[in-house]
Amino acid sequence: MQITNVRAHHIRIPYDAGGASFRQGASAITALETVILEVSTDAGLTGWGDAFAYVCPRTTCTAIEEMIAPQARGIEVPDAAGIPAVMDQIQRNLHLFGRYGITMFAISGLDIALWDLAAKIEGAPLNRLIGTPRRTKIPAYASLLRIGTPERIADECEVALRHGYGAIKLHETTTPAVFAARAAIGDRTPLMVDLNCPLDGASAIAFAKDCSAAHPLFLEEPVWPPEDFATLAEVRAKGGLDIAAGENACTVHQFRQMMSAGAVSHAQPSVIKVGGITEFLKIAALADEMGIHIVPHSPYFGPGFLATLHLMSLRDDGLIEVFYLKRAACLWRGRIYADASGSIEVPEGPGLGYEPDQDVMERYRVA
């Protein structure tokens, strides 16, 4: 079976997050920009993946069309055992365009689609193709967008708990925000705090100490720049809190540097950024060797979210991240919402388990 084409679809689904906001630097993000990668074959089977895009969907689409499609068109569809070699060759072919960032995001999309295809060829769900599933549903945490004022943070935390979520993550950078959330959710609900890389080492250590009475499960990305693993390790050692990072790291090689530096207690590979399922599996194996938790980055709702469910079903523990917002439409016919116990079912169909809803794709298609 040969790959006949690789196509990028830009799908833009609006969302409502109430008073919360979502920004990337100067850009307000008002819709979920998803770049879906479709791999077609001469046997009529289709594989789906996605590549991280947020504020640059056209750039990501171009990377897929210009860099990825020529690498994949015409090759034999690999089976599970053959995917790592195919992806290694493509990483080699494209290394001069950068090992981190858009190139690797586009590579991630192809990798996910190849795994989807390999599992479909076997007629198996992705998790059974890879290993032995340990869980049929994955507990989710509500990943709140940036809110700001302590009163509204408390309100939003209470609403998320009422919807069934058993754990909360904030995207806030002040101690009143952290203590407001803790007061709202009580002592026993896990609380995580994501800073998105603003601080120098000394400020991050001070922030960790100031937050310690609210006992966060971890502080996420407290330090700028994200690849300064030595400073992150210092914050972890002197701040007294567990540290999570990894959404800005790609490939097992950078994760090895991060873990070896002692920078993290919780590693956060993002399947649509890190190099796909192939790299995620290497990182998970390394984390297990080193006694580090895996808590993946997954604030998105395309094929990569389904892949993350499968990957986490192979582990005994670990939460899945769900961006806390109301989407105008779901690509998976409403099947990836958290249930009353705050968990999400792992799909059981072949491959990633669900096919994208073509009506939703057409209605919200940009390109």
Which amino acid does the sequence have at 259? M
321 binds Mg ion (CB under 5 A): no
Looking at beta carbons only, is 111 or 194 nearer to Mg ion?
194
- 125/226 with CB nearer Mg ion: 226
Nearest to Mg ion of 50, 194 (CB atom)? 194
Interacting residues with Mg ion between 240 and 279 (CB under 5 A): none
Q: How far apart are CA 255 and CA 325, in angstroms?
A: 30
- Using CA atoms, how far residue 333 sits from 131, 179, 289, 302, 336, in Å, is 27, 37, 38, 12, 8
Identity of the residue, 194 or 227, whose beta carbon is nearer to Mg ion in the bound complex: 194
Please state the closest distance from residue 196 (CB atom) to Mg ion, in A: 6
Here's the x/- map for Mg ion, 202-241, by CB under 5 A: it reads as ----------------------------------------
| CA pair distance 363, 354, nearest whole angstrom | 19
Give the nearer residue to Mg ion in terms of CB position, either 109 or 246: 246
> What distance in Å separates the CA atoms of residue 177 and residue 174, rounded to the nearest whole number?
5
* Number of Cα atoms under 13 Å in the Cβ half of residue 228: 16
Please identify, among the stretches 18-26, 190-198, 203-211, 280-288, the one whose residues bind Mg ion according to the rule CB under 5 A: 190-198
Among 111, 116, 172, 194, binds Mg ion (CB under 5 A): 194
Q: How many residues does the chain have?
A: 367
Question: In what helix (H) or strand (E) does residue 285 lie, and over which residues does it extend?
Answer: helix 276-290
How much helix, strand and coil, in percent to the nearest 5, is found in the chain? 40, 20, 40
Q: Which residue is at the shortest CB distance from Mg ion? A: 194
Report in angstroms how near the CB of residue 211 gets to Mg ion at its nearest. Answer: 16
Would you tell me which residues interact with Mg ion (CB under 5 A)?
Answer: 194
